[in-house]
Amino acid sequence: MSATLAIDVRGMTKRFGRRTVVDNVDLAVATGEIVGFLGPNGSGKTTTIRMICGLLRPDAGQGTVLGLDVRTQSAAIKRQVGYMTQRFSFYEDLTIAENLTFVARLYELKPVEEAVAKTLEGLGLSSRKDQLAGTLSGGWKQRLALAACIMHQPRLLLLDEPTAGVDPKARREFWDEIHRLAADGLTVLVSTHYMDEAERCHRIGYIAYGRMLATGTVEEVVRGSGLVTYIVHGALRPEQMRALSMADGVEQIAPFGASLHVVGTDRSKLEAALAPLKGEAGIGVEPGETSLEDVFIKFMTGAQERAA
Protein backbone atom coordinates (compact mmCIF):
# COMPACT_ATOMS: atom_id res chain seq x y z
CA MET A 1 0.00 0.00 0.00
CA SER A 2 1.80 3.06 -1.20
CA ALA A 3 1.33 6.17 0.89
CA THR A 4 1.67 8.35 -2.18
CA LEU A 5 -1.41 6.90 -3.82
CA ALA A 6 -4.57 8.79 -2.91
CA ILE A 7 -6.75 6.23 -4.63
CA ASP A 8 -5.61 2.66 -5.04
CA VAL A 9 -8.50 0.33 -5.83
CA ARG A 10 -8.60 -2.91 -7.76
CA GLY A 11 -11.35 -5.06 -9.20
CA MET A 12 -14.14 -2.63 -8.30
CA THR A 13 -17.41 -4.14 -9.47
CA LYS A 14 -20.99 -2.98 -9.04
CA ARG A 15 -24.15 -4.70 -10.19
CA PHE A 16 -27.64 -3.27 -10.20
CA GLY A 17 -29.86 -6.31 -10.47
CA ARG A 18 -28.44 -8.40 -13.29
CA ARG A 19 -26.72 -5.49 -14.98
CA THR A 20 -23.04 -5.06 -14.28
CA VAL A 21 -22.49 -1.32 -14.29
CA VAL A 22 -18.86 -1.28 -13.23
CA ASP A 23 -16.82 -4.34 -14.13
CA ASN A 24 -13.49 -5.05 -12.52
CA VAL A 25 -12.13 -1.50 -12.62
CA ASP A 26 -8.64 -0.74 -11.32
CA LEU A 27 -7.73 2.82 -10.52
CA ALA A 28 -4.58 4.32 -9.06
CA VAL A 29 -4.31 8.05 -8.51
CA ALA A 30 -1.20 9.63 -7.01
CA THR A 31 -1.44 12.35 -4.40
CA GLY A 32 -1.66 15.81 -5.93
CA GLU A 33 -2.58 14.43 -9.33
CA ILE A 34 -5.53 15.52 -11.47
CA VAL A 35 -7.02 12.51 -13.15
CA GLY A 36 -9.70 12.85 -15.79
CA PHE A 37 -12.31 10.17 -15.94
CA LEU A 38 -13.78 9.86 -19.38
CA GLY A 39 -16.36 7.72 -21.02
CA PRO A 40 -19.73 7.84 -22.73
CA ASN A 41 -22.99 8.33 -20.85
CA GLY A 42 -23.92 5.36 -18.71
CA SER A 43 -20.41 3.94 -18.82
CA GLY A 44 -20.10 3.70 -15.04
CA LYS A 45 -18.23 6.92 -14.23
CA THR A 46 -20.69 8.13 -11.60
CA THR A 47 -21.02 4.67 -10.09
CA THR A 48 -17.25 4.32 -9.77
CA ILE A 49 -16.97 7.74 -8.11
CA ARG A 50 -19.80 6.89 -5.73
CA MET A 51 -18.05 3.67 -4.74
CA ILE A 52 -14.85 5.54 -4.05
CA CYS A 53 -16.53 8.03 -1.72
CA GLY A 54 -18.55 5.34 0.07
CA LEU A 55 -21.98 6.19 -1.31
CA LEU A 56 -22.27 2.79 -2.92
CA ARG A 57 -21.07 -0.51 -1.59
CA PRO A 58 -18.96 -2.36 -4.17
CA ASP A 59 -20.05 -5.91 -4.95
CA ALA A 60 -16.45 -6.90 -5.47
CA GLY A 61 -13.07 -5.24 -5.34
CA GLN A 62 -10.83 -3.84 -2.69
CA GLY A 63 -8.30 -1.17 -2.04
CA THR A 64 -7.70 2.05 -0.23
CA VAL A 65 -8.79 5.64 -0.54
CA LEU A 66 -6.49 8.03 1.32
CA GLY A 67 -5.02 4.97 3.00
CA LEU A 68 -8.42 3.89 4.36
CA ASP A 69 -10.17 0.67 3.41
CA VAL A 70 -12.76 1.46 0.77
CA ARG A 71 -15.03 -1.35 1.93
CA THR A 72 -15.07 -0.86 5.68
CA GLN A 73 -14.00 2.70 6.44
CA SER A 74 -16.37 4.69 4.28
CA ALA A 75 -17.40 6.94 7.18
CA ALA A 76 -13.79 7.99 7.73
CA ILE A 77 -13.28 8.41 3.98
CA LYS A 78 -16.30 10.70 3.74
CA ARG A 79 -14.73 13.11 6.23
CA GLN A 80 -11.68 13.66 4.05
CA VAL A 81 -13.30 13.60 0.64
CA GLY A 82 -15.12 16.40 -1.13
CA TYR A 83 -17.71 15.10 -3.55
CA MET A 84 -19.38 17.39 -6.04
CA THR A 85 -22.43 15.76 -7.56
CA GLN A 86 -23.39 15.98 -11.18
CA ARG A 87 -26.60 17.79 -10.35
CA PHE A 88 -26.55 20.84 -8.08
CA SER A 89 -27.36 19.24 -4.78
CA PHE A 90 -27.35 22.03 -2.26
CA TYR A 91 -30.55 23.55 -1.00
CA GLU A 92 -32.08 25.91 -3.51
CA ASP A 93 -34.46 27.24 -0.88
CA LEU A 94 -31.62 28.20 1.45
CA THR A 95 -29.43 31.25 0.96
CA ILE A 96 -25.80 30.92 -0.03
CA ALA A 97 -24.66 31.66 3.51
CA GLU A 98 -27.19 29.23 4.99
CA ASN A 99 -26.01 26.45 2.70
CA LEU A 100 -22.38 27.05 3.64
CA THR A 101 -23.24 27.22 7.33
CA PHE A 102 -25.04 23.92 7.05
CA VAL A 103 -22.01 22.27 5.45
CA ALA A 104 -19.60 23.83 7.94
CA ARG A 105 -21.63 22.54 10.84
CA LEU A 106 -21.98 19.03 9.40
CA TYR A 107 -18.21 18.86 9.15
CA GLU A 108 -17.96 20.45 12.61
CA LEU A 109 -15.71 23.25 11.37
CA LYS A 110 -14.90 25.70 14.12
CA PRO A 111 -15.63 28.54 14.29
CA VAL A 112 -18.44 28.16 11.79
CA GLU A 113 -18.85 31.88 11.05
CA GLU A 114 -15.20 32.25 10.19
CA ALA A 115 -15.21 29.25 7.83
CA VAL A 116 -18.33 30.57 6.10
CA ALA A 117 -16.99 34.12 5.84
CA LYS A 118 -13.71 32.88 4.41
CA THR A 119 -15.44 30.74 1.81
CA LEU A 120 -17.80 33.56 0.85
CA GLU A 121 -14.85 35.88 0.43
CA GLY A 122 -12.97 33.36 -1.68
CA LEU A 123 -16.04 33.02 -3.87
CA GLY A 124 -16.50 36.75 -4.11
CA LEU A 125 -20.07 36.24 -2.95
CA SER A 126 -19.92 38.09 0.38
CA SER A 127 -22.29 40.79 -0.85
CA ARG A 128 -24.77 38.25 -2.21
CA LYS A 129 -24.64 35.84 0.71
CA ASP A 130 -28.33 36.30 1.51
CA GLN A 131 -29.44 35.41 -1.98
CA LEU A 132 -31.27 32.10 -2.39
CA ALA A 133 -28.98 29.48 -3.92
CA GLY A 134 -31.73 28.51 -6.35
CA THR A 135 -31.58 31.95 -7.98
CA LEU A 136 -27.90 31.63 -8.93
CA SER A 137 -26.87 31.06 -12.54
CA GLY A 138 -25.42 27.71 -13.59
CA GLY A 139 -21.85 28.94 -13.39
CA TRP A 140 -22.29 30.43 -9.93
CA LYS A 141 -24.08 27.34 -8.66
CA GLN A 142 -21.11 25.31 -9.80
CA ARG A 143 -18.68 27.63 -8.04
CA LEU A 144 -20.75 27.55 -4.87
CA ALA A 145 -20.89 23.75 -4.99
CA LEU A 146 -17.12 23.54 -5.42
CA ALA A 147 -16.51 25.99 -2.60
CA ALA A 148 -18.83 23.99 -0.32
CA CYS A 149 -17.04 20.77 -1.23
CA ILE A 150 -13.62 22.05 -0.27
CA MET A 151 -14.69 23.94 2.86
CA HIS A 152 -13.58 21.14 5.12
CA GLN A 153 -10.21 20.99 3.31
CA PRO A 154 -10.54 17.49 1.93
CA ARG A 155 -7.49 15.60 0.74
CA LEU A 156 -9.35 14.15 -2.23
CA LEU A 157 -11.82 15.89 -4.47
CA LEU A 158 -14.25 13.89 -6.57
CA LEU A 159 -15.99 15.90 -9.27
CA ASP A 160 -18.76 14.32 -11.30
CA GLU A 161 -19.15 16.20 -14.58
CA PRO A 162 -18.68 19.51 -12.83
CA THR A 163 -18.78 21.71 -15.91
CA ALA A 164 -21.91 20.38 -17.59
CA GLY A 165 -23.97 23.37 -18.70
CA VAL A 166 -21.37 25.95 -17.77
CA ASP A 167 -20.13 28.60 -20.20
CA PRO A 168 -16.54 28.48 -21.56
CA LYS A 169 -15.23 31.36 -19.45
CA ALA A 170 -16.58 29.85 -16.22
CA ARG A 171 -15.15 26.50 -17.29
CA ARG A 172 -11.75 28.03 -17.81
CA GLU A 173 -11.85 29.66 -14.38
CA PHE A 174 -13.05 26.45 -12.83
CA TRP A 175 -10.09 24.54 -14.24
CA ASP A 176 -7.65 27.22 -13.11
CA GLU A 177 -9.04 26.77 -9.60
CA ILE A 178 -8.68 22.97 -9.85
CA HIS A 179 -5.03 23.35 -10.83
CA ARG A 180 -4.43 25.79 -7.98
CA LEU A 181 -5.92 23.28 -5.52
CA ALA A 182 -3.87 20.42 -6.94
CA ALA A 183 -0.71 22.50 -6.63
CA ASP A 184 -1.47 22.73 -2.91
CA GLY A 185 -1.50 18.91 -2.73
CA LEU A 186 -5.17 18.13 -3.28
CA THR A 187 -5.86 15.04 -5.37
CA VAL A 188 -8.61 15.43 -7.94
CA LEU A 189 -10.62 12.82 -9.84
CA VAL A 190 -12.90 14.52 -12.32
CA SER A 191 -15.31 12.95 -14.78
CA THR A 192 -16.04 14.80 -17.97
CA HIS A 193 -17.24 14.53 -21.54
CA TYR A 194 -15.12 17.37 -22.84
CA MET A 195 -11.91 16.51 -24.67
CA ASP A 196 -10.34 19.88 -23.93
CA GLU A 197 -10.88 19.23 -20.25
CA ALA A 198 -9.32 15.81 -20.54
CA GLU A 199 -6.25 17.48 -21.96
CA ARG A 200 -6.01 19.67 -18.86
CA CYS A 201 -5.63 16.58 -16.66
CA HIS A 202 -2.31 15.05 -15.69
CA ARG A 203 -3.63 11.65 -16.58
CA ILE A 204 -6.85 10.22 -17.92
CA GLY A 205 -8.76 7.00 -17.63
CA TYR A 206 -11.24 5.92 -20.25
CA ILE A 207 -14.17 3.78 -19.16
CA ALA A 208 -16.87 2.30 -21.41
CA TYR A 209 -19.57 -0.23 -20.56
CA GLY A 210 -18.18 -0.49 -17.08
CA ARG A 211 -14.68 -1.44 -18.18
CA MET A 212 -11.54 0.66 -17.94
CA LEU A 213 -10.16 0.61 -21.47
CA ALA A 214 -7.13 2.86 -21.19
CA THR A 215 -5.22 4.89 -18.65
CA GLY A 216 -2.22 7.17 -18.93
CA THR A 217 -1.32 10.65 -20.07
CA VAL A 218 -3.13 11.98 -23.10
CA GLU A 219 -0.05 11.28 -25.30
CA GLU A 220 0.22 7.76 -23.95
CA VAL A 221 -3.42 7.02 -24.62
CA VAL A 222 -3.24 8.46 -28.13
CA ARG A 223 -0.06 6.58 -28.91
CA GLY A 224 -1.39 3.41 -27.33
CA SER A 225 -4.41 3.46 -29.58
CA GLY A 226 -2.22 2.86 -32.66
CA LEU A 227 -4.40 5.17 -34.75
CA VAL A 228 -3.15 6.97 -37.85
CA THR A 229 -4.86 10.13 -39.04
CA TYR A 230 -4.86 11.92 -42.38
CA ILE A 231 -6.48 15.24 -43.03
CA VAL A 232 -8.27 15.73 -46.33
CA HIS A 233 -8.76 19.35 -47.40
CA GLY A 234 -11.30 20.46 -49.95
CA ALA A 235 -14.82 19.40 -50.91
CA LEU A 236 -15.34 15.77 -51.87
CA ARG A 237 -18.03 14.78 -54.33
CA PRO A 238 -20.70 12.48 -52.82
CA GLU A 239 -19.43 9.43 -54.74
CA GLN A 240 -15.86 10.10 -53.57
CA MET A 241 -17.15 10.37 -50.00
CA ARG A 242 -19.04 7.11 -50.36
CA ALA A 243 -16.05 5.32 -51.81
CA LEU A 244 -13.81 6.61 -49.03
CA SER A 245 -16.15 5.53 -46.27
CA MET A 246 -16.47 2.05 -47.81
CA ALA A 247 -12.73 1.68 -48.37
CA ASP A 248 -10.76 -0.97 -46.48
CA GLY A 249 -8.67 0.53 -43.68
CA VAL A 250 -10.83 3.61 -43.11
CA GLU A 251 -12.31 3.38 -39.64
CA GLN A 252 -13.58 6.89 -38.99
CA ILE A 253 -14.33 9.95 -41.04
CA ALA A 254 -15.06 13.07 -39.11
CA PRO A 255 -15.67 16.46 -40.69
CA PHE A 256 -13.86 19.39 -39.08
CA GLY A 257 -14.97 22.56 -40.80
CA ALA A 258 -13.82 22.41 -44.41
CA SER A 259 -11.59 19.38 -43.85
CA LEU A 260 -12.03 15.70 -43.03
CA HIS A 261 -10.18 13.64 -40.46
CA VAL A 262 -9.75 10.16 -41.86
CA VAL A 263 -8.64 7.69 -39.24
CA GLY A 264 -7.53 4.06 -39.38
CA THR A 265 -5.25 1.58 -37.62
CA ASP A 266 -3.33 0.27 -40.62
CA ARG A 267 -1.20 2.99 -42.20
CA SER A 268 -0.64 1.26 -45.56
CA LYS A 269 -4.31 0.39 -46.05
CA LEU A 270 -5.28 3.94 -45.12
CA GLU A 271 -2.82 5.39 -47.59
CA ALA A 272 -4.12 3.05 -50.27
CA ALA A 273 -7.66 4.18 -49.58
CA LEU A 274 -6.64 7.83 -49.86
CA ALA A 275 -4.48 7.34 -52.98
CA PRO A 276 -7.30 7.96 -55.51
CA LEU A 277 -7.88 11.41 -53.97
CA LYS A 278 -4.31 12.54 -54.36
CA GLY A 279 -3.90 14.71 -57.42
CA GLU A 280 -7.61 15.56 -57.63
CA ALA A 281 -8.08 19.23 -58.26
CA GLY A 282 -8.80 21.23 -55.10
CA ILE A 283 -8.17 18.31 -52.77
CA GLY A 284 -5.16 17.98 -50.52
CA VAL A 285 -4.21 15.03 -48.36
CA GLU A 286 -1.69 15.34 -45.54
CA PRO A 287 -0.81 13.38 -42.41
CA GLY A 288 -2.47 14.75 -39.29
CA GLU A 289 -2.34 14.33 -35.55
CA THR A 290 -4.70 11.82 -33.99
CA SER A 291 -6.95 13.57 -31.49
CA LEU A 292 -8.19 12.19 -28.21
CA GLU A 293 -11.69 12.29 -29.64
CA ASP A 294 -10.70 9.94 -32.47
CA VAL A 295 -9.27 7.57 -29.93
CA PHE A 296 -12.40 7.64 -27.82
CA ILE A 297 -14.67 7.03 -30.77
CA LYS A 298 -12.59 4.01 -31.62
CA PHE A 299 -12.85 2.81 -28.02
CA MET A 300 -16.57 3.33 -28.01
CA THR A 301 -17.24 1.42 -31.22
CA GLY A 302 -14.88 -1.33 -30.11
CA ALA A 303 -16.49 -1.65 -26.70
CA GLN A 304 -19.92 -1.56 -28.25
CA GLU A 305 -19.09 -4.46 -30.54
CA ARG A 306 -17.70 -6.43 -27.64
CA ALA A 307 -20.73 -5.70 -25.49
CA ALA A 308 -23.19 -6.58 -28.26
Closest CA to 156 of 38, 35, 66: 66
Q: For residues 156 and 263, which CB has a smaller minimum distance to other proteins in the complex?
A: 156
What mask, x for binding other proteins by CB under 8 A, covers residues 186 to 225?
----------------------------------------
Beta bridge partners of 207: 212
Minimum CB distance to other proteins smaller for 89 or for 137: 89
Please state the closest distance from residue 75 (CB atom) to other proteins, in A: 7
Q: How far is the CB of 145 from other proteins (least distance, A)?
A: 9
Q: Scan residues 10-29 and list those touching other proteins (CB under 8 A).
A: 14, 16
Among 85, 101, 142, 192, binds other proteins (CB under 8 A): 85
Nearest approach, Cβ of residue 121 and other proteins (Å): 22
Closest approach of other proteins to the CB of residue 60, in Å: 14
101 binds other proteins (CB under 8 A): no
Which of 3, 11, 42, 106 binds other proteins (CB under 8 A)? It is: 106
- State the minimum distance, in angstroms, from the CB of residue 154 to other proteins: 11
Interaction of residue 261 with other proteins, rule CB under 8 A? no
Minimum CB–partner distance for residue 55 and other proteins (Å):
5
Q: How far apart are CA 276 and CA 60, in angstroms?
A: 53
The footprint of other proteins (CB under 8 A) covers 14, 16, 50, 53-57, 74-75, 78-79, 81, 83, 85, 87-92, 103, 106-107
